[in-house]
């Protein structure tokens, strides 16, 4: 089975370069957040790096759930953990990795904007069909972005689809490598996935 989606597998250096660019844009805009709120899970790493780049140690998280499992999306996302620090009267920068449907970003934005003095949104990538366009984003894309902090999850998700489609073990490996995933990562995780899916 051949995956039809286009993929962009990012390295840690690419992530860092994009976040440097975004931190510069935030500073140039004049928006000065008192606190950075990362949306768990995708926004955790970017928000921590931005905390460093913006020289702002005030960092909080909010957890949003959008999927029932690795492949089944919920009708609407829900907040499963409220923001971990007070935002009342503060300028807040909400951070996620990608605005795909944009529903998680919009949910958090709507949840916090009534409390905060000022609210900005930032994602590394923005997809043109997102219901919310972030105030700051590095690139617009239609590709499936694979971040370096989700390689195991990506192998499980994509490998599972290929196996369901009748793929062989070697076919699964070849297709995952074709997407841009490193062969060492594929080799490390596909064997356990194959055994689990074939039981």
Q: Measured between alpha carbons, how far is 104 from 67 in angstroms, rounded to an integer?
A: 11
| Residue 113, domain member (yes or no) | yes
**Any alpha helices (H) in 99-182, and if so which ranges?**
103-113, 151-164, 169-178
Burial class (CB in 10 A: 0-12, 13-18, 19+), 68: exposed
Specify whether 79 is located in the same domain as 162.
Answer: no
pLDDT tens digits, one per residue of 50-61: 999 999 999 999
Please check the confidence at residue 189 and state whether its pLDDT lies above 80: yes
pLDDT tens digits, one per residue of 82-124: 999 999 999 999 999 999 999 999 999 999 999 999 999 999 9
pLDDT tens digits, one per residue of 131-183: 999 999 999 999 999 999 999 999 998 988 888 888 888 988 999 999 999 99
Specify whether 29 is located in the same domain as 94.
Answer: yes
Specify whether 38 is located in the same domain as 113.
Answer: yes
| Residue 2, domain member (yes or no) | no
What is residue 161's predicted lDDT score, i.e. its pLDDT? 87
What sign results for the dihedral spanned by CA atoms 59, 54, 49, 107? positive
- Number of CB atoms found within 10 A of residue 90's CB: 19
Specify whether 118 is located in the same domain as 164.
Answer: no
Q: Measured between alpha carbons, how far is 3 from 178 in angstroms, rounded to an integer?
A: 9
Specify whether 191 is located in the same domain as 130.
Answer: no
Specify whether 187 is located in the same domain as 138.
Answer: no
pLDDT tens digits, one per residue of 115-126: 999 999 999 999
DSSP symbol at 32: -
Specify whether 176 is located in the same domain as 82.
Answer: no
Specify whether 72 is located in the same domain as 23.
Answer: yes
DSSP 3-state of 39: strand
For the whole model, what pTM was predicted? Answer: 0.91
Domain that holds residue 170: 148-197
pLDDT tens digits, one per residue of 72-83: 667 788 999 999
What is residue 182's predicted lDDT score, i.e. its pLDDT? 95
Q: Measured between alpha carbons, how far is 180 from 178 in angstroms, rounded to an integer?
A: 5
**Confidence at 48, pLDDT banded by 50, 70, 90:** very high
Number of domains in the chain: 2
């Amino acid at each position: 089975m051949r995956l039809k989606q286009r993929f962009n597998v990012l390295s840690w250096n690419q992530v860092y370069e994009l976040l440097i660019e975004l931190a510069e844009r935030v500073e140039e805009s004049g928006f000065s957040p008192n606190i950075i709120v990362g949306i768990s899970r995708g926004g955790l790493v970017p928000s921590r790096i931005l905390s460093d780049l913006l020289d702002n140690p005030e960092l909080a998280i909010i957890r949003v759930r959008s999927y029932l499992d690795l492949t089944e999306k919920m009708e609407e996302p829900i907040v499963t953990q409220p923001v971990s620090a007070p935002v009342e009267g503060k300028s807040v920068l909400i951070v996620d990795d990608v605005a795909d449907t944009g529903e998680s970003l919009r949910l958090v934005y709507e949840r916090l904007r009534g409390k905060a003095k000022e609210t900005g949104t930032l994602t590394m990538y923005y997809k043109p069909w997102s219901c919310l366009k972030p105030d700051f984003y590095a690139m617009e894309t239609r590709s499936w972005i694979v971040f370096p902090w989700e390689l195991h999850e990506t192998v499980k998700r994509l490998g599972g689809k290929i196996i369901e489609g009748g793929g062989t073990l070697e076919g699964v490996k070849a297709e995952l490598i074709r997407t841009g995933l490193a062969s060492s990562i594929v080799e490390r995780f596909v064997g356990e996935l194959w055994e689990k899916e074939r039981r």
